[in-house]
Structure 1
Amino acid sequence: MDGAHQDSTAGTANGLPSVPMQRFRAVSGPARAAALLIPAATVGNALITVSDWRDYLVVHAYRAGTATVADLRAADTFALWVSIPQVVLYAAAGAVFLLWLWRARCNAELYGPRTAQRRARGWVIGGWFAPIANLWLPHQVVTDIWRASAPRSPAPRGPVTAWWALFVADTLLSRSMGHYYLAKKVTESSLRHAAALSTVCATLDLAAAVLIVVLLTRITAWQNRRHTPATG
């Protein structure tokens, strides 16, 4: 059951049924997994960038007469071998992060009135998949969890805003790369342009990954310190 501790109950002396209290959800396990998988996915993204530059350089060499068809095929094979694990890593990192985020949000409700959270629980997951609204809803969710979990109030929101700005910039640029590939005829020039965009995306992705690992680690530590395990 979400790795949570057992429900605590508030009984009454007159024999009325006890009222279950909301449980603290264990966040350390998902946080550790996310802290491993997110950097791994970032390394995978860097390998995609290496593959993009390799494609350009091999095509450039082929046009100059210094590379063969076998070299072109080898570049295609390398791109395939790095892209498949990349998809798997991103899916795994995303799933573990959302699990952590859900539990952290449930715990955040223990530290204050539910109205302190601007969005209903469903938006913790759904906000990432809502068209257009996913440009700000996840930021609100993480900001509210950060604010509720912090031992001191108000907590500085700069780290959350910096992470989100990097993440959105990376996402929008990655989407523009996809449109570019679909709209443009693949040429040596387009491959060079795509590799340059890929390099920028990899840099943004790395910076965003570092910040989100810092954020989730800090929120996890805050929540663990504020939680007093039940005894007996």
Structure 2
Amino acid sequence: MDGAQQDRTAGTAGAAPAGPPQRFRAVSGPARAAALLIPAATVANALITVSDWRDYLVVHAYRAGTATVADLRAADTFGLWVSISQVVLYCAAGAVFLVWLWRARCNAERYGARTAQRRARGWVIGGWFAPVANLWLPYQVVTDMWRACAPRRPAPRGPIAVWWALFVADTLLSRSMGHYYLAKKITESGLRDAAALSTVCAALDLAAAVLIVVILTRITAWQNRWRWQGKG
């Protein structure tokens, strides 16, 4: 849905109207913060996987008579603290990333017609929270920024497509894990299946994190280069 047909229809309701040039918005600081917090959140997600496997192994050992109630409680405590850390880091990483995304999008409008951006500025943030539409709107926003800022024409969009595919797959699989933990009766096999699914999600999350850090770093470098050359 992001090919030539969409490019021809880009300038209507979804695109931002033309306006006077905007000042350049600093992106280096938010980019550096995001490049630190996104991997940190990924590590926290990996620890969630460790916690999931620990829960399964402790329950398995308890049923076999080789673990105690204290071991079960210790596993629960570990999982609680890891979950709190994950939520805090994901919120921090998400907030910093959205700050970077907003500034980078505003800058991207300086390097070409604002109608080259298929979505109005409000979708830069709102697209992540719109039900169903959040499966493609953020991808369009980042793709349009990439095309506007890349020094090569046409700009290869492979990294963004792979990142978004990984991100969506991770998101959908993570949501599907809920039924294991919301089940009326949590079973040993259910814990094992949840841990296995958590492992897949952690791998997808790691790959997506690496790619988005590469993407935001490149866009930031391109925009700063334009600024240093006096073109922004």
Q: What TM-score results when the alignment is normalised by the length of structure 2?
A: 0.89
Q: Percent identity?
A: 87
Equivalent residue pairs, number: 212
Matched, 1:202 2:192: no
**Residue 124 (structure 1) aligned with residue 124 (structure 2):** yes
Contact 1:143 1:157 in 2 (8 A): yes
**Offset at residue 154 of structure 1 (A):** 0.8
Deviation at 1:228, TM superposition (A): 3.5
Preserved contact between residue 21 and residue 110 of structure 2 (Cα < 8 Å)? no
Asked whether the equivalents of residues 118 and 141 of structure 1 are also in contact (C-alpha less than 8 Å), the reply is yes
Per the alignment, residue 45 of structure 1 pairs with: 45
Q: TM-score, normalised by structure 1?
A: 0.89
Q: By how many angstroms is 1:229 displaced?
A: 7.8
The 1-side partners of 2:184 and 2:213 are apart by: 36
Amino acid corresponding to residue 189 of structure 2 in structure 1: S
What is residue 114 of structure 2 aligned with on the other side?
Answer: 114
1:182 Cα deviation from its structure 2 partner: 1.8
Write out per-residue CA displacement over residues 28-84 of structure 1, whole angstroms, 9 at most, x where no aligned residue.
Answer: 000000000000000000000000000000000000000000000000011011111
Q: Please name the residue that 1:213 is paired with.
A: 213
Q: Could you tell me which residue of structure 2 aligns to residue 173 of structure 1?
A: 173
Match of residue 81 from structure 2: 81
Higher relative contact order (CA 8 A, sep 6+): 2
**Aligned residue type for 1:61:** A
Q: Distance in 1 between matches of 2:168 and 2:180?
A: 18
Aligned to 1:60: 60
The equivalent residue for 2:224 is 224
1:141-177, Cα deviation, whole Å (9 max, x unpaired) = 0000000010121100010000000000000000000
Deviation at residue 138 of structure 1 after TM alignment:
0.2
Q: 1:113 to 1:21 in 2, by over 3 A?
A: closer
2:204 and 2:25 map into 1 onto residues whose CA distance is 31
User: Corresponding residue for 2:161?
Assistant: 161
CA RMSD of aligned residues (A): 1.4
Aligned amino acid, residue 133 of structure 2 = A
CA contact (8 A) 1:49 1:198 kept: yes
Give the Cα–Cα distance (whole angstroms) in 2 for the partners of residues 102 and 179 of structure 1. Answer: 35
The answer to whether the Cα contact below 8 Å between 1:37 and 1:93 also exists between their aligned partners in 2 is yes
Gaps of at least 5 residues in structure 2 are 1-18
Report deviation, 1:184: 5.6
Would you say the 8 A contact 2:58–2:72 is kept in 1?
A: yes
Aligned counterparts of 1:164 and 1:180: Cα–Cα separation in 2: 26
- Once residues 190 and 50 of structure 1 are traced to their aligned partners in structure 2, the CA distance between those partners, rounded to angstroms, is 16
- Tell me if structure 1 keeps the 8 A contact 2:44–2:82: yes
Greater displacement, 30-39 / 78-87: 78-87
Q: Which amino acid aligns with 1:71?
A: D
Structure 1: runs of 5+ lacking an equivalent: 1-18
Task: State the secondary structure of the residue aligned to 1:134.
Answer: helix
Q: Is the 8 A contact 1:184 1:190 kept in 2?
A: no
1:86 maps to amino acid:
Q
